[in-house]
Amino acid sequence: MLAMISHPDCLDHDPGPWHPDTAARLNAINDQVIRSGLEFVIRHYDAPLATRAQLERVHDPAYVQRVFDMAPAEGSVEIDGDTVMSAGTLNAALRAAGAGVMGVDLIMKQEACPVFCAIRPPGHHAEHDKAMGFCLFDNIAVAAAHALQEHGLSRVAIVDFDVHHGNGTEDIFRNEPRVLFCSSFQHPFYPFTGHEARTANLIGVPLAADTGSAAYRKAVAEHWFPALEAFQPEFLFISAGFDAHVLDDMSNLNLTEADFAWLTSELMAIARTHCQGRILSMLEGGYDPGALARSVVSHLKALLD
């Protein structure tokens, strides 16, 4: 059964009225899931708080302590021009990271599969010792490290189709041969990484603005799929950012719901072949609430196929 993990605390992260990462994103997803009828085939779970030990598998302990120390009791604290902590942010970030841990456990215990984590703040820009790009903790990295350490897996793959390069995930796993990281992203574009020389476990697909559906699908099929087939992962993780959508003014790749559904179906086929169907998806970007909600539902339907 498809599981969806979230928590009301994720709505309490408030980086300010000007910020693209608003609680309306999750509300739109929940409303669209209900309208689509998927509500009747999804099992819902409340995300736990990630522990310090789980965070410190991928983050510098001193950095984790700094995040805790910076958390305001009221008002907000700006970490950089994009990343803001409000009074509700720390718990939201801990729930976001904890959702991935719970999802891995559910899948490995065969209690649910696949799993989608509807969480915020996102995570894939958070590096080993640095917050940036709306992200405090690298949620997908925390989940992948949990799978490796607690469940004894030896090969996991992370695919990231957010329009922005997942520099944090790459930073954390750059020299980890047990993790294959495949990413597609607009370039040149924030955070202006991912196009440089890479280690063998990093498969980056930089794409020019206005790439469009056909060229996007061709590039991913040529670069990601052979690498995934050769790696034969035991678990497949997805950093699911939907900000490459044509209606999202954060980007210019001009993708649609159909592209996200196509890619999800292809990844599901790989997971069935190599991972016993083990697949966990975590929300990253997507900042037009309507386009995001429709894209997530397309993603969920493909996960159910």
| Chain segment 96-154, per-residue pLDDT in tens | 999 999 999 999 999 999 999 999 999 999 999 999 999 999 999 999 999 999 999 99
What is the predicted pLDDT for the residue at 164? 98
User: pLDDT tens for residues 36-75?
Assistant: 999 999 999 999 999 999 999 999 999 999 999 999 999 9
Tell me how far apart the alpha carbons of residues 134 and 123 are, in angstroms, rounded to a whole number. Answer: 8
The full set of domains in the chain, from first to last, is 2-304 (3.40.800.20)
Q: Which residues are known catalytic residues? A: 125
Whole-number mean pLDDT of the chain? 97
Residue ranges of the alpha helices (H) in 85-243? 89-108, 139-151, 167-173, 212-231
| Band (197; pLDDT cuts 50, 70, 90) | low
State the pLDDT at residue 177.
97
Distances (CA, A) of 188 to 64, 112, 194, 196, 205: 30, 39, 10, 12, 12
Q: What is the mean pLDDT of residues 215-243?
A: 98
Cβ atoms < 10 Å from Cβ of 74: 6
The predicted model scores a pTM of 0.98
Whole-number Cα distances in Å, 161 to 35, 42, 165, 206, 231 = 25, 23, 8, 11, 19
d(CA 275, CA 277): 5
Q: Is the pLDDT of residue 267 over 70?
A: yes
Supply the pLDDT for residue 195.
84
pLDDT-based confidence at residue 196 (cuts at 50, 70, 90): confident
> What mean pLDDT do residues 275-293 have?
98
